[in-house]
Chain A
Amino acid sequence: MTEHDVAMTCATCQSSIDRCEFCEESVCRSPICYHCVAEALGEALAHPHTHGG
């Protein structure tokens, strides 16, 4: 972590995240993690892994 990185927590579950999973920004007024955004939008599907993993 560099001095420019800002610690973020998910506004819903307070887990530590590197960026907001909705807007993909590292500075966001209501950051949200992947799990919480998927739940909020009614998505229970994992994002695809194009490498087949």
Chain B
Amino acid sequence: MFDYEDGKLDWLAAGLPSEGTNAQRPRAGDVARKDVPTCRLDERLGDVMDRTREAGWDACVVLNEERVVFGLLRSKELEASPDLRIEEAMRPGPSTFRPFVSIEEMAAFMMEHDLESSPITTSDGRLVGLLRREDAAKAASELHEREHHSNGGRT
């Protein structure tokens, strides 16, 4: 028998499976894109920008060797001088959110604050993925539609 000694929030924050009535509702960790480009502190911005754009992205997450989030390059930071090192160009210590956060809450906050993307991390700061505002809004809208139909049109 294995006793998980940390709390329920730590279990959920690690992206581990959950059960119960709310388990089927999409959460930030489910919607966050796992294929987001990543880079290291000592890389050159021009190289990272090329790689990011080639992959069809306008954001890149800066990680250390343990995949802990150190910074974020959104579209504005990617447009800086290509000769800068990543540690000079990045937005350091971005606000990060846990995988279990409700997608509806995240979508509402991201729209209210006009935030284009948010890193989703485990409680020890390791990257789960990047949540894009458009993905969060779409998932929240689909959830709303699904629940509206399952209630026979009642809200």
* A residues lining the B interface (CB < 8 Å): 20-25, 28-30, 37, 40-45, 47-48, 50
Contacts and interface: CB of A to CB of B under 8 A. Distances in A.
Contacts, number: 54
Give 10 closest A-B pairs by Cβ, nearest first: A48-B125, A23-B113, A41-B101, A23-B115, A45-B123, A22-B113, A48-B124, A43-B98, A41-B105, A24-B95
Q: Which bucket holds chain B's interface residue count?
A: 20 to 34
A41 to B, nearest CB: 5
Given A20-B113, A28-B113, A45 B105 contact: no
Nearest to A41: B101
Task: Say what secondary structure dominates the interface of chain A.
Answer: loop
Contacts of A24: 91, 94-95
Contacts of B102: 41-42
B112 interface: yes
B51 to A, nearest CB: 24
Nearest to B98: A43
A43 B95 contact: no
Contacts of B121: 48
A51 to B, nearest CB: 11
B100 A42 contact: yes
B91 to A, nearest CB: 7
Contacts of A37: 95, 109
